[in-house]
Amino acid sequence: MITFDEATELVARVAAPLSTESVALGEARGRVLAAPVLAARASPSCCVSAMDGYAVCEADLAILPVELAVVGESFAGEAFAGDLPRQACVRVFTGARLPAGADRVIMQEDVRREGEIAHFGQPLPVRRHLRLAGSDFGVGDRLVPAGRRLNAQRLVAAAAANLGDLTVYRRPKVAIIATGDELTTPGRSDPGPDAIPESVSFGVAALAEHWGGEIVSRRRCGDDLALLETAAAKAAGEADVVVVTGGASVGERDFARQMFVPLGLELVFDKVAMKPGKPVWLGRVGGTLVVGLPGNPTSALVTARLFLAPLLLGLGGGDPREALAWRPMALAASLGREGDRDTFHRGRATPGGVTLAADQDSSAQRALAESDLLVRRRPGEPHAAAGDCVAVLDL
């Protein structure tokens, strides 16, 4: 059995980025760039107006007040045709190309217009209200470096750079196998007293997608080794990561690891000194990684958050350590001394600080639903009073 920190370091080592692919801009949200965003077009591509007003030649306003003839209009996407004559101006709108011969825009609020004559009487401001060609970025400029996740802001920059496709890391394909004779499909009218609606795979699938995984299959299998071996082979053949839930202990029907033995299972680690989630394990079969999660819902979701999330983030081109961004938060109530393992309490953020769930049992699902934080307490940490800071992680 290894420590939690040792386990997360092993996850980071195996979470190497997968291959790359080119995706359309509209499909790139949340993906990690494998190549930088380099501008294929300058922005702006020409000198444009930064205000609604009048494009003028500053020399024509050397002596104020002055009257200039309005000889046309310039709109964004429909510019004034021709050059600006002397002793004239062009009505211009924000984003419109400046006519040749103009070198300043006077805001419409500072101009009095009568028919086709514009009257200029205000002293000229310091600002010219122009956006010069390439003033935002030029052709070839790096707008977003490789390794960054594409969010709304970065997609705006990529689109402005006139890029229709982006090179990103491939999303890891995830197959989920839920094991246990007691599991049934949720929604059955009378599953029986010995049956349990299978819940963990739904939470694991949602978590995997949130951290960049692509779910390719989700299976539920009873505790039949032959059937489980078949399911394991299918999953390993279609996924980069197989997540198996349940069967992680040492009972007579706990086959989670054994089902992968015919495929040449190599363990990365087996059992972690943590609570909940001690039975969690990580292995590989060929080029496929296998994550074994406990069957209890809370244990499964906690270990998935702590190990599967950074694994998927790293495989998808991100930094796996970013998935474990612990931050300090004050306790709303006191917390007792910890035992000999890393303990991850479930809780929620409140105005008074982090409030721990009343039920910390590894099978508790109501408390899990009410929690949005994990609170990490290291082995042997002493009593903590209300107001003391603890390390928390978004669940």
DSSP codes of every residue in 277-288: -TT-EEEEETTE
Token pair of 300 as six digits: 């499964």
Q: How far is the C-alpha of 177 from the C-alpha of 185, rounded, in Å?
A: 13
- What is residue 248's predicted lDDT score, i.e. its pLDDT? 61
DSSP string of 138-174, one letter each residue? -TT-EEE-TT-B--HHHHHHHHHTT-SEEEEEPPPEE
Q: Work out the angle at residue 376's Cα, subtended by the Cα atoms of residues 371 and 382, and round it to the nearest 5 degrees.
A: 125
- What is residue 253's predicted lDDT score, i.e. its pLDDT? 57
- What is residue 197's predicted lDDT score, i.e. its pLDDT? 86
Contact 146, 34 (CB under 8 A): yes
Greatest Cα-to-Cα distance within the chain, rounded to the nearest angstrom: 98
- Cis? peptide before 65, omega within 30° of 0: yes
Q: How many helices (H) and strands (E) does the chain have?
A: 7, 26
Q: Domains (ranges, CATH) in the chain?
A: 4-17+171-324 (3.40.980.10), 20-43+136-169 (3.90.105.10), 48-131 (2.170.190.11), 327-394 (2.40.340.10)
Look at the block and give the residue holding tokens 């591509």.
45
Q: How far is the C-alpha of 183 from the C-alpha of 200, rounded, in Å?
A: 10
Contact 302, 277 (CB under 8 A): yes
- What is residue 249's predicted lDDT score, i.e. its pLDDT? 57
- What is residue 196's predicted lDDT score, i.e. its pLDDT? 87
- What is residue 251's predicted lDDT score, i.e. its pLDDT? 53
- What is residue 238's predicted lDDT score, i.e. its pLDDT? 98
Which residues does the chain have with pLDDT short of 70? 189, 191, 248-253
